[in-house]
C-alpha cells in the first residue's frame, strides 16, 4: 500500500482485508509511503491486522509504487488511470501475475485488452472472467484466478530451473568425458612400447590414442556450441578423427610400404594425437573438406617422420590431411 487517503482504493482494500482476518488467521499489511508521509487506514479497534510502515527514500509515491511492483507476487488492478495502465504493462512485460478487473473501466480495462494479446499465464476462461460484469461472488473467483496464474508461473519457473540444471549436468558430464578421453590418449602415448612389427597391440594403441583425442576435442568444442547433445558431438568428432588419421596412415603407407614392419608407435603418436584432437575439435570443417574431395597425397619415397622439405621457388608441394590447420609430414 502507498496511500491511505479516502480517494484511493487502497483504503477500501485494507478494510475489506481486515474484515476477513480473524484471531486464528491474522493478517499483515505493509505500506510503502514516501518519506515524511504517514499512513492511517483507520482500522477499528481490535482489528486482527498489523500495519507495517516501510518508508521509501523517494519523496514521490510513484517511485515507490513502480519500484515495489517488480517484486510483487501478483497485481490486482481496478479502475485507475495512467499509472494503473503503466503498472499493468510493467507486470505483463515481467510476466508477473496480473488481474485487471475490466468491469470498472479505467486503466484496468485497457490492461485487460492488452492482456488478451499477451496472455502470459492466463487462458480463455481467465480473460472472460476478468471482462465479466461485477456480480456476487466475482471477488472470490477473481482472487482464485490470480492465484491460479501464480501457480502456473511458479510451475514455469520450476521447469526453467530444471532445464538449466539438466543443461549444466550435460555440459559438466561432457567435460568430464573429454578429460577422461584426453588423459587416456596421453596415457597410451606414454605407455606405447618400443618400435617393432605392427602386431595387434601396437596397432590398437596407434589407432586408439588419436581417436580418444578426437573425441576429447569434439567434446570440448561442444562447450562452445551446445546446439546438439554431447554424445552426438563425440560421435562426429570420432568420425572426423578416424577419417583424418586413417587418411594420414594411408598416405604414409603409399610412400613407405614397409612402414608397418618397423612401427615406432610412440614417435608417430606425437603427431597423430594432436592431429586427432584438431580433427575432432574442427569436425565440421573436416567434413566440409572431405565433401570437397581434399585427399592427402604424399610423394613416393617420402619419410613420414622427416621434417617438411622446402618447396622450390614458384611452386608448392605441401600435403595436408582433412584436418583444418594440420599439415602431414612429407
Long-range contacts of 57-66 (CB under 8 A, 24+ apart): 58/34, 59/34, 59/35, 60/34, 61/2, 61/3, 61/33, 61/34, 61/37, 63/34, 64/2, 64/32, 64/33, 64/34, 65/2, 65/32, 66/90
Q: What is the pLDDT of residue 106?
A: 92
Sorted by sequence, the CB contacts under 8 Å of residue 299 that are 6+ apart come out as: 255, 317, 319, 330
Instruction: Give the residue from 40, 73, 34 showing the smallest Cα distance to 56.
Output: 34
- Structure pTM? 0.61
Sorted by sequence, the CB contacts under 8 Å of residue 67 that are 6+ apart come out as: 56, 58
> What span, in angstroms and rounded, lies between the C-alpha atoms of 261 and 196?
7
Q: Is 160 left (phi over 0), alpha (psi -120 to 50) or beta?
A: alpha
Residue ranges of domains in the chain: 9-160, 163-291
Locate 316 and state its grid cell: 608448392
Q: What is the pLDDT of residue 329?
A: 39
Per-residue pLDDT tens digits of the chain, which is 330 residues long: 777 888 888 888 898 889 889 888 999 988 888 877 788 888 888 888 888 888 877 777 788 888 888 888 999 998 888 988 999 999 999 999 999 999 999 999 999 999 999 989 999 999 999 999 999 889 899 999 999 999 999 999 999 999 999 888 888 888 898 999 999 999 988 888 788 787 888 888 888 999 999 999 888 888 877 566 778 888 888 888 888 888 888 888 888 787 777 788 888 888 889 888 988 888 877 777 767 765 544 444 444 444 444 444 444 443 344 443 444 433
What fold does the segment set 9-160 form as a domain? Rossmann fold (3.40.50)
Q: What is the pLDDT of residue 327?
A: 41
Amino acid at each position: 500500500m502507498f496511500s491511505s487517503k479516502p480517494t484511493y482504493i487502497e483504503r477500501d482494500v485494507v478494510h475489506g482485508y481486515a474484515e476477513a482476518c480473524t484471531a486464528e488467521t491474522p493478517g499483515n499489511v505493509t505500506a510503502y509511503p514516501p518519506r515524511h508521509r504517514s499512513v492511517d487506514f483507520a482500522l477499528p479497534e481490535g482489528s486482527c491486522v498489523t500495519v507495517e510502515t516501510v518508508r521509501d527514500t523517494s519523496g514521490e509515491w510513484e517511485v515507490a509504487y513502480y519500484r515495489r511492483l517488480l517484486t510483487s507476487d501478483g497485481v490486482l488492478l481496478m479502475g485507475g488511470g495512467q499509472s494503473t495502465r503503466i503498472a499493468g504493462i510493467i507486470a505483463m512485460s515481467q510476466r508477473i501475475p496480473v488481474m485487471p478487473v475490466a468491469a470498472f473501466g479505467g486503466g484496468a480495462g485497457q490492461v485487460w485488452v492488452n492482456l488478451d494479446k499477451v496472455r502470459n499465464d492466463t487462458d480463455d476462461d481467465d480473460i472472460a472472467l476478468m471482462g465479466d460484469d461485477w456480480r456476487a461472488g466475482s471477488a472470490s473467483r477473481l482472487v482464485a484466478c490470480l492465484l491460479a496464474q501464480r501457480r502456473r508461473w511458479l510451475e514455469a519457473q520450476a521447469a526453467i530451473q530444471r532445464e538449466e540444471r539438466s543443461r549444466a549436468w550435460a555440459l559438466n558430464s561432457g567435460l568430464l568425458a573429454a578429460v577422461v578421453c584426453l588423459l587416456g590418449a596421453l596415457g597410451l602415448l606414454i605407455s606405447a612400447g618400443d618400435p617393432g612389427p605392427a602386431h595387434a597391440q601396437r596397432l590398437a594403441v596407434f589407432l586408439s590414442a588419436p581417436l580418444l583425442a578426437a573425441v576429447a576435442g569434439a567434446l570440448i568444442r561442444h562447450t562452445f556450441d551446445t546446439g546438439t547433445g554431447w554424445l552426438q558431438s563425440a560421435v562426429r568428432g570420432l568420425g572426423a578423427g578416424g577419417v583424418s588419421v586413417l587418411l594420414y596412415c594411408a598416405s604414409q603407407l603409399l610412400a613407405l610400404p614397409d612402414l608397418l614392419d618397423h612401427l615406432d608407435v610412440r614417435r608417430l603418436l606425437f603427431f597423430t594425437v594432436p592431429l586427432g584432437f584438431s580433427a575432432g575439435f574442427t569436425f565440421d570443417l573436416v567434413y566440409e573438406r572431405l565433401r570437397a574431395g581434399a585427399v592427402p597425397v604424399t610423394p613416393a619415397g617420402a619419410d613420414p617422420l622427416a621434417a617438411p622439405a622446402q618447396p622450390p621457388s614458384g611452386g608448392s608441394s605441401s600435403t595436408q590431411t582433412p584436418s583444418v590447420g594440420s599439415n602431414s609430414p612429407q
